[in-house]
Structure 1
Amino acid sequence: MTISLAWDAVLMWRSRQQWLHRPAEAADPVAVVERLAGVQAQVTSAAEQAVAARQPEPGSGPGGEDVRAALREQRLVKTWAARGTLHLLEARQAPAHLALIGAARTWEKGSWQKTFVTVAQMEKLAAAAHEALDGRVLTREQLTTAVVEHAGAPDLAEHLASGWGTVLKPLAWQGVLVHGPSADDRRVTFTRPDTFVPGWTGLPDPAEAARVVIPAYLGAYGPASAATFDQWLCRGASRKAALRQWFAGLLADGVLAEVDVEGERLFARAEDLEALEGARDFDDVRLLPAFDQFVLGPGTADARVVPPEHRAQVSRAAGWISPVVAYRGRVAGVWDGAEVTLFDERVPRAGIEAEQRRLKVI
């Protein structure tokens, strides 16, 4: 029997699943990253703030140093993941995330090859990087030099040196490289996960990876459609037949269930059905940092989370995602320091002021 749900209840359930209710006991940063199915880390400070925003009180749980320590200890991995953006991933789950993104084989598309490098060149790059990074940590410049020399292809240097890392991303999705510890001068470094991350298992088959990543996503951002999941994962680039098979397999095995949310047939984890039906109100106001998963999980195109008329204030130029006011599971405004712009005047002012005091911006 398919259960019926209301969006208000779903969105407040999600808030608790994303730990916006701030559990009484401080959470390890690795647990926060795992719960959120990764934390975007294009801006390092924003990733650290996302972890801190889910702690009981300022200073009571992990801060930026705790996140950096988890990276040094290889309990967290930093690499290009969902939507081709830098993320922090829980080290044990990272292979599954990378395998599922890599299954789209976006670098094999004709338009990509015409703009960047051919499949043959990518194979050379992968082999050269695999050898260059064996037990080593190299800066981008050092990696570029080593790869160009090994591959005998000086024309690749410009692509490798690009600050956007476009040509390096497919290497990450094939398990060839991850980010290493920062160099002494704070330059970005790269290394091989199998010689750097303890217990690295290598990339699983995509079907096996889907059994890890899809439930992880739905545990924080469900119920959702397969298309919404795919937009979060790789901007809708997954092969549609494979996507259908992944969801169908999880449904057949009882890991997932279909639910009706105000007329939409969506997927949820079977283990979450009881909690979804009994979802409790969540009225606390939260001031969340830029690039927070609260927004990125469902995506800014989700009109139930981001009011369409205010989307441009949330999703800004050059891919910037504004710090947001979260209230009752929705984006209710944006903020910058002491300045708050509300989209919904029902947001309690006392809640905003409490968050501002927490963040020491008033």
Structure 2
Amino acid sequence: MTQSSAVTAQNDSNLIPATDLVTVSRAVADLRRGEIVLVQGHDNGEAHNVAVIAAEPLSQHGLQRLCDIAGSDTAPAIVLPRVRAKSLGQTAKDDPFVAFVSDGQSDVDANRLGEIANPLLDLDALPAGEWRPISMAENAAIRLAKLARLLPAVVTVPVSADQLETLARAQNLLVLQSESINGYENASAASLRQVSEARVPLEDAENVTVIAFRPEDGGQEHLAIVIDEPAKDKPVLIRLHSECFTGDLIGSLRCDCGPQLRGAISEIAKSGQGGIVLYLRQEGRGIGLVNKLRAYALQDRGFDTLDANEELGFDADERVYRPAAEMLRQMGFESVRLLTNNPEKLTGLESWGVTVSERVPHKFPSNGHNEFYLQTKKDRAGHLF
């Protein structure tokens, strides 16, 4: 990435202010605790605000607070992925998410809403009610649930502009713009800063420095594992490796992540020219460890690795590559040779200004447990084995 493009990246008009970064980060924590947050959005130029609580950690106390905000005339809506709605009897629609509203508040409780949101559970029937499209604010709330690594399902009630101000002040609830939520990942990546580094000799590469990068809002750190002393005036050999607790740490045979990580370190060390493994905190293609375990449970029922993610309400791949591009830029590398079988990683890096001069194949034998997984990556995700 050239100096001029680096400046552009830092001043991208799509970035949200640093104060909003912190607000979104706090809202993520609130959502994980089962707290209510307020989201502002616009539909066809008209304001549409909602009070939101995540379906996964929903308690009866939290639901009652939400109902108190709504008043006795308004039942809460549960926003669900289309695939889950279809399994619950909704007629097919193209919208990725839809909302279900029961005929009355007394028809649902927190446990029932949690069951409705959980795609691993088979339900006999829903309470009486109707389906409707979701608003921009509710769509942003789903994005927030994904950032929290929760199931992408939320419970909402409408909030007027006057209510919004009162609730924020009287109950100390966070207020977020939908644009801030939707722009969070890019803005967080652009705010990454180096916070520490240390020499860490490894089994297959003794001359290694690990550099940690942290975003301004204090979110998850990404790591650069720098092997030897790669030159900055020619393409550097790198691997983008998404965190995988099961494969990297405990040796799971369901994926090829462990062999890919250790193989990349070994290959870079043997090259004699050095290189970098960027260890990105994007477990389970960006859905988080808990949801990855849920996806594994669905795979045991016959879903492939991509369909399992989508059955949970996520995209087949939720990863973003701006963090990797920003780390490379700050370390002074403009051009790379990329160890990968995934063409999406090439386009992902190049879209943020990094020149990929060569794709270096990075293949490992299957083990009997991951043959279907690898075949799916080849047939459906276009991996180049």
Common fold, TM-score beyond 0.5?
no
Normalized against structure 1, the TM-score is what?
A: 0.25
Higher RCO (C-alpha under 8 Å, 6+ residues apart): 1
TM-score between the two structures when normalised by the length of structure 2: 0.24
Higher helix share: 1
Structure with bigger gyration radius: 2
Q: Which has the higher strand share?
A: 2
